[in-house]
Chain A
Amino acid sequence: MHVRLLSHRPESGWSIPLPSELDSARTLVLAFAATDYGERTEVWEELAGAFPASHRLGCSSAGEILGQTVAEGSLVLAVVRFEHATVTSTAAPIQAVEVSRSTGGKIARALAPHAPKLVLVVSDGLHVNGTDLVRGLAEGLPAGTAIAGGLAGDGAHFGRTWTLVDGLPRSGWVSAVALGGPIAVGHASEGGWQAFGPEREVTASEGNVLYTLDGKPALALYKDYLGDLAAGLPATALYYPLAIRMPGEAGPGIVRTVLGIDETAQSMTFAGDIPLGARTRLMRSNHDRLVEGAAHAGAQARAGAWAPVFAIAVSCVGRRMVLGQRVDEETAATLEALPEGSSQVGFYSYGEISPSGVATCNLHNQTMTLTTIREVAA
């Protein structure tokens, strides 16, 4: 497995020349960039020219991860040529949010015949029901297939996201790559958030749109807790993710991130489903715990490997907001947990996709999700 990492900045171009010698049918090219790169067609044409045979996967982000650095307004690139692993790519448009599940199913059916060990998927971050998408993917793929990836981001703007479809940025699509053959995959997803305060019942909701908690508008609750910071909604809502638990379920439940608000409807849109009757609690974190969580994720995703691995880190925009200037402490923490010589690339997303526990896959929020890949003896 050959890995080359590089970046591109609008003012300075490529950090190193494009390694087109790594182009092949077994080559995966990962590109995560600021939303503005969606208009920079020349960059994509360059890439297309340099890597005609490779499988290109990527999306817009809320922050670009390269090694242990977090940048913005840039593009990060990882070129990975596999010796024996197979690479397949596909894409599907999302007609409407309501059909997120069937879109996931379509992607899955296209990839399933290739006996994937890992499916990397990136999706439009705003016009999708992430929970349903992941469900559709999981239903269509063989049991035991690891699914990882995330929802494309748009900085803190929540305006427009894109994914690469045939190497070109497009909004409203889901793109995926399947890796099969002699590879070992590790994965981990850690939060570091803590729930506090009273439990509140979801008394009005529709899919991933939340209206009321305990009969009172959720938006009003958030504004109360944000105080002066309410002016920064919807972004500042990321400071208080929601922990969701169905009545009768044990365990910590699932964390949900706000993607948008509607003042008229007094509603809040989340990255995943907010079921009616679910019990919710506000969550908080501080930077120490977040970094600790990331380090933990790194250690888990390593999966006992000693040889260098290629790691894809998908973290959450909410963490970026909390960590602020110290954001690169978490990406440093994950890389430090991996074997020496490992490479890391990734992005800050609007929702992370990763296996969780026994279940095949889940949509996470506010987590640092790490997926490690290495080639093993055939």
Chain B
Amino acid sequence: MKSLHNLLARQLARLGVDASRPPDVTAWETLLARVSETYADADRERYLLERSQAISSREMEELNAKLELERDRLESRVRERTAELAASEARFRSFTSLGSDWYWEQDAQFRFTSIAGNTEVYPGHTIGSHIGRTRWEIDDYDAPAGGWDDHRRLLESHQPFHEVVFRLKLPNGGRAYASVSGLPMFDDEGRFTGYRGIGRDITEQKLTEENIRRLARFDPLTGLANRTSLFEHVEHAIARSRRRPRPFALLFVDLDRFKDVNDAFGHSTGDEVLRTMARRLSLAIRAGDTVARIGGDEFVVLAEEVSPATVVADFSQRLLDTLAEPIVLQGKEFRVGASIGIAMFPADGEDAPTLLKKADMAMYRAKESGRNGYAFFAAETRNEPQERILLVSGLRRAIEADELVLFYQPKIAVRGGTMTGAEALIRWRHPQRGLLLPGTFIPLAEDSGLIRQIGRWVLRTACLQAKAWQSVAPYPVPVAVNLSARQFGDDRLAGEVAEALADSGLPARLLELEITESIMMEQPEHAAEKLRELRALGVHIAVDDFGTGYSSLARLKRFPLTSVKIDRSFVREIPHDPDDAAITTAVIAMAHSLRLRVVAEGVETEAQVRFLRERNCDEIQGFFFSRPLPAREVLPFLRRRADAHAAAIGTG
């Protein structure tokens, strides 16, 4: 028999059935049942196997289908999102590419992570190369003033910032400016994740600003500093003075006859004159001074080394002298001249506008006083206190030390041209400062009371000198002496005049006292009496600077005068200025009708001489004929003129 399936063999063995012999009925039935069960087991197993496979497969298919649907859905979502993202990117790109700006992002350590937009704005410098570095790690960025600390502190505060300006070095050596704005970024949990923002090139704007600032500094016509620049200089001087107190002076220089030039010769000539005057000023100022043109014919000089204050007066005089030098216009000589007003810091003001205003006011005073002069806003500031004291003591000594000296300016007869007399003018040969003009020390003398002493000295000296001339001059030469207001007001004046005459032996009629119209008119009653007293001595009296005071003609006719001296301000403008010409003519006529002699002061040009001669002016005094001379030069001058006259008329 073929070998049995081991299960069958076991089943037989369990039943105790021998394969070779048929079993008993019970065993047989049991065996058949068990075999049948075995077949059933096998069927069942197969059934379950196939069923589980089928259902499992079906389930897998269903699952697959679901997954596929899910995947399709997700893919469609992804496509949508991608499209949205692309659109957003496109919008961003068009925004950044259209502008001149660039867009930047930094991480939480402030390193650049992204740059877009106009990154090529700086030739040779790629903004895109910043990625991975912080702004301060990029060499091309110049550190802001004070270093990077402020900017880093700002970034660490995680605050927005607007229009912070950075300067960049360009590869070609130039500089560029960028204006940067930024906003902080935070994640969903509020943690700081970095910054993003824009940058803009503002180089052109910055350069334009600088240009404007530069243009705004200089006067285009003369090249001098302009008003803005002047004010800056003054501010700086004020600021410096806060650290170390140092006074400075503002000199307001207003040209005297500029209007005439413009009217007579036209604007282009006027411009030429301005340029010339500007040049002269520039050359005349000292190193450290500043000269500016602030208006038509107005200049301002900022003088810094002004200690001692007498230096300012001398300096102003020097400026006046250089501006008064003749200028040749269309072949003719012209003198322009100027009036200077001086304001001192800090005495007259502590800010630029105040100082300028006061200097302007002082300038007007100088103009009113006859032009071609200077005036301090505060008369006392001619000398600083300590300088005053020094000067005063110097002056006191000067009188004893023979430092005072008289110069004599000749007066010339209009007809004949001979010297008719001389005006005594005081000078001080200061051991350190050289020759000082009366403007420097006379007010000081008046304030300190030394004027009386000086006045007496002047009278004495002039009388003595005149007396000396009488012995050697071909004809009598009178001498004229200026009296100050204080002298004139002094009751002892007549006594001192008499004394001087007596001491010198000079005939009274050879002494002329010159008193300004203003002084006479201060107290006319008193003046009349005083003048009568002096006239009674026999001396001559001339009203000086006539036309600048407030004369009452009624009073004038009552004063015992001998001559009238026409103020230089009228003389200066003749024959061009019709008003001045008319006035001069009238004054001469009036003086003559009052039987007074007329002397014209400040005559400088031949035209003036001619005009005066035509109007029958009697005498002339001025630079045209002679400057004030030292005593020893007077007689030689007189002789020369006498000889010339004799030659002219064929005598001698």
Interface stretch, picked from A114-122, A302-310, A321-329, A360-368, is A321-329
Q: A225 to B51, Cβ gap below 8 A?
A: yes
Interface stretch, picked from A81-89, A139-147, A255-263, A282-290, is A282-290
A174 to chain B, nearest CB (A): 35
B176 to chain A, nearest CB (A): 59
Restricting to A211-236, which residues have a CB under 8 Å from any CB of B? Answer: 224-229
* Minimum CB distance partner of A322 in chain B: B45
Q: B52 to A225, Cβ gap below 8 A?
A: yes
Given A196-B56, A197-B59, A325-B34, are A284 and B49 neighbors across the interface (CB < 8 Å)? yes
Q: A224 to B41, Cβ gap below 8 A?
A: no
Q: B41 to A229, Cβ gap below 8 A?
A: no
Q: B10 to A328, Cβ gap below 8 A?
A: yes
Restricting to A316-352, which residues have a CB under 8 Å from any CB of B? Answer: 322, 324-326, 328-329
Q: A324 to B51, Cβ gap below 8 A?
A: no
Given A325-B11, A325-B38, are A239 and B48 neighbors across the interface (CB < 8 Å)? yes
Q: A197 to B48, Cβ gap below 8 A?
A: no
A228 to chain B, nearest CB (A): 7
Q: A282 to B52, Cβ gap below 8 A?
A: yes
Complexed CA–CA distance, A128 and B253 (Å) = 122
Q: B55 to A325, Cβ gap below 8 A?
A: no
Within 8 Å of chain A (Cβ to Cβ): is B170?
Answer: no
Q: A225 to B63, Cβ gap below 8 A?
A: no
Q: B37 to A228, Cβ gap below 8 A?
A: no
Q: B11 to A197, Cβ gap below 8 A?
A: no
Q: A239 contacts which chain B residues (CB < 8 A)?
A: 48
Q: B40 contacts which chain A residues (CB < 8 A)?
A: 324
Within 8 Å of chain A (Cβ to Cβ): is B44?
Answer: yes
Q: B55 to A284, Cβ gap below 8 A?
A: no
Complexed CA–CA distance, A196 and B14 (Å) = 36
Given A197-B56, A197-B59, A198-B59, are A326 and B7 neighbors across the interface (CB < 8 Å)? yes
Q: A286 to B47, Cβ gap below 8 A?
A: no
Given A196-B56, A198-B60, A225-B55, are A284 and B37 neighbors across the interface (CB < 8 Å)? no
Interface of B is mostly: helix
Q: B47 contacts which chain A residues (CB < 8 A)?
A: 227-229
Q: A282 contacts which chain B residues (CB < 8 A)?
A: 52, 56
Q: A324 to B52, Cβ gap below 8 A?
A: no
Complexed CA–CA distance, A226 and B11 (Å) = 28
Q: A324 to B55, Cβ gap below 8 A?
A: no
Restricting to A156-201, which residues have a CB under 8 Å from any CB of B? Answer: 196-198
Restricting to A64-79, which residues have a CB under 8 Å from any CB of B? Answer: 69
Complexed CA–CA distance, A77 and B63 (Å) = 52
Q: A325 to B52, Cβ gap below 8 A?
A: no
A1 to chain B, nearest CB (A): 30
Q: A286 contacts which chain B residues (CB < 8 A)?
A: 45, 49
Q: B37 to A325, Cβ gap below 8 A?
A: yes
Q: B63 to A198, Cβ gap below 8 A?
A: yes
Complexed CA–CA distance, A284 and B44 (Å) = 13
Q: A324 to B37, Cβ gap below 8 A?
A: yes
Given A324-B41, A326-B41, are A227 and B51 neighbors across the interface (CB < 8 Å)? yes
The listed residue (A228, A229, A284, A324) touching B38 by CB distance below 8 A is: A324
A366 to chain B, nearest CB (A): 15
Q: Residue among A198, A240, A325 with the most chain B CB within 10 A?
A: A325
Q: B49 contacts which chain A residues (CB < 8 A)?
A: 284, 286
Q: B7 to A325, Cβ gap below 8 A?
A: yes
Q: B11 contacts which chain A residues (CB < 8 A)?
A: 325
* Minimum CB distance partner of B36 in chain A: A325
Q: B63 to A196, Cβ gap below 8 A?
A: no
The listed residue (B14, B34, B45, B51) touching A287 by CB distance below 8 A is: B45
The listed residue (B34, B45, B52) touching A196 by CB distance below 8 A is: B52
Complexed CA–CA distance, A284 and B47 (Å) = 12
Complexed CA–CA distance, A50 and B10 (Å) = 35
Contact string against A for B residues 393-405, beta-carbon threshold 8 Å, 1 for contact and 0 otherwise: 0000000000000
Q: B34 contacts which chain A residues (CB < 8 A)?
A: 325
Complexed CA–CA distance, A239 and B41 (Å) = 12
Q: B48 to A284, Cβ gap below 8 A?
A: yes
Q: A197 contacts which chain B residues (CB < 8 A)?
A: 52, 55-56, 59-60
A43 to chain B, nearest CB (A): 24
* Minimum CB distance partner of B41 in chain A: A324
* Minimum CB distance partner of B37 in chain A: A325
Complexed CA–CA distance, A329 and B48 (Å) = 21
Complexed CA–CA distance, A325 and B34 (Å) = 7
Q: B63 contacts which chain A residues (CB < 8 A)?
A: 198
Q: B37 contacts which chain A residues (CB < 8 A)?
A: 324-325
Complexed CA–CA distance, A266 and B133 (Å) = 67
* Minimum CB distance partner of B6 in chain A: A329
* Minimum CB distance partner of B35 in chain A: A325
Contact string against A for B residues 548-561, beta-carbon threshold 8 Å, 1 for contact and 0 otherwise: 00000000000000
Given A325-B34, A325-B38, are A224 and B44 neighbors across the interface (CB < 8 Å)? no
Q: B41 to A325, Cβ gap below 8 A?
A: yes
Q: Residue among B38, B40, B47, B59 with the most chain A CB within 10 A?
A: B59
Q: B44 to A229, Cβ gap below 8 A?
A: yes
Complexed CA–CA distance, A140 and B36 (Å) = 50
Q: A228 contacts which chain B residues (CB < 8 A)?
A: 47
Given A325-B7, A326-B41, A328-B10, are A229 and B59 neighbors across the interface (CB < 8 Å)? no
Complexed CA–CA distance, A287 and B45 (Å) = 9
Q: B60 contacts which chain A residues (CB < 8 A)?
A: 197-198
* Minimum CB distance partner of A323 in chain B: B41
A232 to chain B, nearest CB (A): 10
Complexed CA–CA distance, A322 and B49 (Å) = 12
Given A228-B47, A325-B38, A325-B41, are A284 and B7 neighbors across the interface (CB < 8 Å)? no
* Minimum CB distance partner of A284 in chain B: B52
Q: A322 contacts which chain B residues (CB < 8 A)?
A: 45
B514 to chain A, nearest CB (A): 125
Contact string against A for B residues 448-475, beta-carbon threshold 8 Å, 1 for contact and 0 otherwise: 0000000000000000000000000000
Complexed CA–CA distance, A326 and B34 (Å) = 10
Restricting to B512-571, which residues have a CB under 8 Å from any CB of A? Answer: none
A64 to chain B, nearest CB (A): 14
Contact string against A for B residues 49-74, beta-carbon threshold 8 Å, 1 for contact and 0 otherwise: 10110011001100100000000000
Complexed CA–CA distance, A102 and B104 (Å) = 68
* Minimum CB distance partner of A196 in chain B: B56
Restricting to B450-506, which residues have a CB under 8 Å from any CB of A? Answer: none
Q: B45 contacts which chain A residues (CB < 8 A)?
A: 286-287, 322
Q: A328 contacts which chain B residues (CB < 8 A)?
A: 10
Restricting to A263-311, which residues have a CB under 8 Å from any CB of B? Answer: 282, 284, 286-287
Complexed CA–CA distance, A227 and B44 (Å) = 11
Q: B52 contacts which chain A residues (CB < 8 A)?
A: 196-197, 225, 240, 282, 284
Complexed CA–CA distance, A110 and B7 (Å) = 46
The listed residue (B10, B48, B55) touching A224 by CB distance below 8 A is: B55
B579 to chain A, nearest CB (A): 116
Q: A198 contacts which chain B residues (CB < 8 A)?
A: 56, 59-60, 63
Q: A224 contacts which chain B residues (CB < 8 A)?
A: 55
A127 to chain B, nearest CB (A): 30
A282 to chain B, nearest CB (A): 7
Q: B48 contacts which chain A residues (CB < 8 A)?
A: 226, 229, 239, 284
Complexed CA–CA distance, A331 and B63 (Å) = 41
Complexed CA–CA distance, A268 and B625 (Å) = 145
B4 to chain A, nearest CB (A): 14
B247 to chain A, nearest CB (A): 91
Complexed CA–CA distance, A244 and B617 (Å) = 142
Complexed CA–CA distance, A69 and B48 (Å) = 27
Restricting to B1-58, which residues have a CB under 8 Å from any CB of A? Answer: 7, 10-11, 14, 34, 37-38, 40-41, 44-45, 47-49, 51-52, 55-56
Q: Which 3 A-B pairs have the closest CB atoms?
A: A324-B41, A197-B56, A325-B38
Give 15 A-B contacts (CB < 8 Å), ordered by A residue.
A69-B14, A198-B56, A198-B59, A225-B51, A227-B47, A240-B52, A282-B56, A284-B52, A324-B37, A324-B38, A324-B41, A325-B7, A325-B11, A325-B34, A326-B41
Given contacts A197-B56, A284-B49, A325-B7, 6 further A-B contacts (CB under 8 A): A196-B52, A197-B59, A224-B55, A226-B48, A284-B52, A325-B11
